[in-house]
Amino acid sequence: MRLYLGTRRTKSLKSCNRWGKRVTMWGGRGGRERERERERKRERERERERERERERERERERERERKRERERERERERERERERERDREREREIERERERERERERERERERDREREREREREREKERERERERERERERERERGREVERERERERVRGRECVCEREREIERERDRERERERERERERERERKREREIEREREREREREIEREREIERERERERERERERERERER
Average pLDDT over residues 189-198: 88
pLDDT at 47: 94
Q: How many helices (H) and strands (E) does the chain have?
A: 2, 0
Flag whether pLDDT at 8 surpasses 50: no
pLDDT in tens, 13-31: 455 555 555 544 444 556 7
Q: Are 195 and 123 in contact (CB under 8 A)?
A: yes
Average pLDDT over residues 76-88: 93
So where are the chain's domains?
A: 31-235
pLDDT category at 159 given cuts 50, 70, 90 is low
pLDDT at 67: 95
pLDDT at 59: 95
Range from 11-15, 41-45, 212-216 that averages highest in pLDDT: 41-45
Q: Are 20 and 11 in contact (CB under 8 A)?
A: yes
pLDDT at 162: 60
pLDDT category at 9 given cuts 50, 70, 90 is very low
pLDDT at 233: 85
Shortest CA distance to 144 belongs to which of 171, 182, 183? Answer: 171
- Report the C-alpha gap between 201 and 141 in whole angstroms: 39
Average pLDDT over residues 200-211: 88
Instruction: Please provide residue 28's backbone torsions phi and psi, each rounded to the nearest 5 degrees.
Output: 95, -165
- List Cβ neighbours of 147 (8 Å cut-off, separation of 6 or more): 170
Shortest CA distance to 118 belongs to which of 204, 202, 184? Answer: 202
Q: Could you give the angle at the alpha carbon of 159 between the alpha carbons of 156 and 162, nearest 5°? A: 100
pLDDT category at 4 given cuts 50, 70, 90 is very low
Amino acid letter, residue 235 = E
pLDDT at 18: 56
Flag whether pLDDT at 1 surpasses 50: no
How far lies 236's CA from each of 18, 57, 76, 81, 231, in Å? 87, 37, 14, 14, 9
pLDDT at 142: 86
pLDDT in tens, 107-120: 998 998 999 899 88
